[in-house]
Structure 1
């Protein structure tokens, strides 16, 4: 009994300590950090490789306050966008929003690198190109190794290429001076350099736009592996980790195990373990007890890594740009966080007032015939049994045996198969057409398209959802399993295991998707809900950006949970207090009953001795 009472007292003391923790103190600390003097990074002392920043001529000029599409009057501002290097889909999202802002009279400056694709439409934007030593071909070759190598091994190879990019910005005084003149920063949270520089250059208003879901390992164990390997050099010796390598690694490969698609943790978006799967788990909201337990462990690991391990590793370089401010705290300076997805497709969840799901940015009504490929227009129009579209994006690659199994499976179909293929082509059937390029959005939107076979990249998945096309998901790496899981949960897709899929299993999946009307019905329902909005996603994005401009950041929309520790936001301090109180009362009651029992037993024994 004594041991039980000691444990109860210890539990009560812990609960009391949590209950008495003053959140106001932490709020003041956070506010003090956010208002400290911000240091401007000096150019690096090392001699940089030959590089130039080449802004395109501005196509717009400042103008008096004008009314946007919503009638809101705002003064045109100078807006900065920084695209994640070699992430074409990210650039396409940002550029489309930028073009809408230019149409509303704003001056938009887009910073990209010399290894980025030229296919992004930057009409009307002032483009500034950061020259890098690497070529596009060399950079692309390293990216492709991620899919073939072990996850961490492949990531570390490309990270050595990406590491220099964040440092290169500090070596460009003209670019730094340009940033200082900006009124608004549109930040891609997948590119932490843009978060740091928007703060260091004192840009007054920041709006975060999360273009796509982020990459992640297949389980939370990958976080431990990532942390361990990041500390090792090629010889296996422990070494300091450069900030740029660390942050790029975490975002391009391991982040979703630590940050879900909405980067919930930095923005204090609720993450109930029972209904919000952590990225990389491949779970849906309908989790078993074991899955919920695994999900909670995944959350705990990412919390430790973010607040402990990561902050310690990036401390030195973070101090160089923003003395006294932690990386985690900097996320809370965003006025708005815009997510280009829809509750019709994504998992349901709670969102704070300054976090908005605006719908998919890139999908739009299809155009037909295809202006760039008249021959393809004829093929689609004359496909009597419909079209099956196959695309694995720009970077994803099937292994030769995987590609051949898929080619043999689609060869059995009566539909015409249009396959955007990169690399060495497999042997295909007479019904299959291989192409290096396809107008994917327009093909998905054509009424003849019956099925989309894809790797599960976020943009492709959202385009299929927008146009109501069922999906055979063939995830290969990164966030693709989780993207496909959402389509499966909505009843519009089947997911394939790349390691066990055979021609026979693929044929069975294709038959089910093409001949079971349930998949087509669910896909059309998702499409209908996504489209049922009075304003397009890009218009909504521009509306919220102008809202932030009009109300000088609209910081009144931020949740007070920003300044509270996790155990207060989760209610653990109160829960532990009541648990400890209940345990104390039960323990006291048991002690009292035990004492009464001993007293009664003593009295009975005494009476018996007297009688004897």
Structure 2
């Protein structure tokens, strides 16, 4: 009796799980940090019984299947083409990030990246056969990353609910326009400004000017994407219209990573979701880490887009690392620098999150890409930040404001300054204390970031979309959003009343003068 009952419950559970399973289409560029953040969510969704289908370039399918075998794949483009990431690395020379600082360098890298990604986007949505196949498939929701991946166009074309993951700082200002959220520039720093929420008068002037530049760039970028859509799927497909349909925004941010600012009801924080899944180190790596003794380990990486760097810059950093008593794990693929110390282990790839979670790790030298900063905050590791481009300047500004980091200029820093900065964040207790405090806040939640992300996606699926959470702001024209028509009407009414009063007064004065004149004539 008991065995039969348990068997019934097991079958019922499996059947119930099967009924709740959904078909999820992941339509995002398989490119660096944005893809990694989405892929982690998709992995968890797949483990919960959902069918996850990834829309990807055919040239990347084999590599994706090797890393994520549980996903299904729909592909586009020529399988013999150079994979997107390799194309980017070929067209964006690593040296550019180090040799061309400032606005010129940002624009050069941005234009090259945008060109490659937009080309990929056009290939995807222009394949009529693929889009028709997707249209006839029983998908329940689209998970996308807003930007050149054009996943939002796929959701609009299929008329499906849309969930977007979003980094906290997007260089084009896309997040502001896509959500309609208010953006008070008096205390909300613009990406690329490198400012905190406490600004002087001149800093507020800088913040406004940077915002205007960023917003203008964003509008140009948006026109390019709209042009791609017009050439492929129709005139009524625009970036604004597609993103206005977003049911939930999964922001990879929170009040420890970012500064307090206005939020919409469908903007959900999932900061730290990339840092939750920690795996044991390999035997070789664990042995190297343990050999550091009480001094510990320093992790160094400048991200997936910069695998190598100019020889003189690499040698400068190697000389600084060689002076440290700590062991150093450095993600570096170039020729070993002459000054490389015996304490430094260079690797083509490092288990970044797993190393940051290790108790022996004392500091993290980084370009401050989002994933690295999020993982360092989650695991409470002090930072030495040397940003290269885009949102990395905003990321390091936030960690410095939290008191857990020191910022350096990679274009002008010396070996001595690098050595002193690393020594400072390790030897001065306040950096570790602040990092631990940030980590404690990030972990002290009733629901983990990943659980929250998955719950919201399943909530959207369950109800077939959440239109009641969307703000009407993005659908309003500029003059309505800023109430210029209402202000104009009020000014017009007040002006008309004042003019009428002035006319009445003038008329009354005229009548009084005329009456006085008539009285004088009669008296005479």
* Short-chain TM bin: 0.7 to 0.9
Uncovered stretches (5+) of structure 1, i.e. residues with no partner: 1-62, 68-73, 215-255, 594-612
- The secondary structure found in structure 1 opposite 2:435 is helix
* 1:448 has 2:334 as partner: no
Aligned residues of 1:110 and 1:126 also touching (Cα < 8 A): yes
Matched with 1:381 is: 290
- Larger mean Cα displacement after TM superposition, 351-360 or 146-155: 146-155
Scaled by the length of structure 2, what TM-score is found?
0.81
Cα 1:160/1:265, change in 2 over 3 Å: closer
Matched with 1:298 is: 210
Cα 1:187/1:419, change in 2 over 3 Å: same
> What is the rounded CA distance, in whole Å, between the counterparts of 1:423 and 1:175 in structure 2?
42
Cα 1:488/1:534, change in 2 over 3 Å: same
Matched with 1:13 is: none
Cα deviation 1:509-567 (Å, max 9, x = unaligned): 22321221111111111111111123222221111011112222111112232333445
Matched with 1:144 is: 93
Structure 2 matches for 1:40-439, cutoff 5 A? 66=17, 75-85=20-30, 87-113=31-57, 114-115=59-60, 118=64, 121-130=67-76, 131-136=78-83, 137-145=86-94, 147=97, 150-157=105-112, 159-169=114-124, 170-171=126-127, 173-174=129-130, 176-181=132-137, 182-200=139-157, 202-210=158-166, 212=167, 256-259=170-173, 263-304=175-216, 310-311=222-223, 314-315=226-227, 317-318=229-230, 320-364=232-276, 366-368=278-280, 370=281, 373-383=282-292, 384-396=294-306, 397-426=308-337, 427-439=339-351
Scaled by the length of structure 1, what TM-score is found?
0.70
Aligned residues of 2:161 and 2:464 also touching (Cα < 8 A): yes
- The secondary structure found in structure 1 opposite 2:176 is coil
- The secondary structure found in structure 2 opposite 1:362 is helix
> What is the rounded CA distance, in whole Å, between the counterparts of 2:254 and 2:348 in structure 1?
30
> What is the rounded CA distance, in whole Å, between the counterparts of 1:107 and 1:415 in structure 2?
46
Cα deviation 1:378-411 (Å, max 9, x = unaligned): 1212312111111112222432222222221222
Cα 1:289/1:567, change in 2 over 3 Å: farther
TM-aligned CA deviation for residue 151 of structure 1: 4.0
> What is the rounded CA distance, in whole Å, between the counterparts of 1:119 and 1:409 in structure 2?
40
> What is the rounded CA distance, in whole Å, between the counterparts of 1:109 and 1:311 in structure 2?
29
Q: How many residues are aligned here?
A: 480
TM-aligned CA deviation for residue 180 of structure 1: 3.8
> What is the rounded CA distance, in whole Å, between the counterparts of 2:40 and 2:181 in structure 1?
26
Cα 1:295/1:578, change in 2 over 3 Å: farther
TM-aligned CA deviation for residue 579 of structure 1: 7.9
> What is the rounded CA distance, in whole Å, between the counterparts of 1:206 and 1:509 in structure 2?
44
- Larger mean Cα displacement after TM superposition, 405-414 or 147-156: 147-156
> What is the rounded CA distance, in whole Å, between the counterparts of 2:147 and 2:231 in structure 1?
21
Aligned residues of 1:306 and 1:328 also touching (Cα < 8 A): no
> What is the rounded CA distance, in whole Å, between the counterparts of 2:274 and 2:311 in structure 1?
31
Cα deviation 1:10-39 (Å, max 9, x = unaligned): xxxxxxxxxxxxxxxxxxxxxxxxxxxxxx
> What is the rounded CA distance, in whole Å, between the counterparts of 2:207 and 2:496 in structure 1?
31
Cα deviation 1:567-601 (Å, max 9, x = unaligned): 554466666777899999999999999xxxxxxxx
> What is the rounded CA distance, in whole Å, between the counterparts of 2:277 and 2:249 in structure 1?
26
> What is the rounded CA distance, in whole Å, between the counterparts of 2:205 and 2:489 in structure 1?
23
> What is the rounded CA distance, in whole Å, between the counterparts of 1:461 and 1:327 in structure 2?
29
- Larger mean Cα displacement after TM superposition, 418-427 or 558-567: 558-567
Aligned residues of 2:229 and 2:235 also touching (Cα < 8 A): no
> What is the rounded CA distance, in whole Å, between the counterparts of 1:587 and 1:404 in structure 2?
75
- The secondary structure found in structure 1 opposite 2:262 is coil
TM-aligned CA deviation for residue 197 of structure 1: 2.0
Matched with 2:431 is: 519
Cα 1:548/1:295, change in 2 over 3 Å: same
- The secondary structure found in structure 2 opposite 1:335 is strand
Cα 1:591/1:276, change in 2 over 3 Å: farther
Matched with 1:224 is: none
Matched with 1:248 is: none
Aligned residues of 1:470 and 1:492 also touching (Cα < 8 A): yes
TM-aligned CA deviation for residue 257 of structure 1: 4.0
Which one has the bigger helix percentage?
Answer: 2
> What is the rounded CA distance, in whole Å, between the counterparts of 1:156 and 1:277 in structure 2?
24
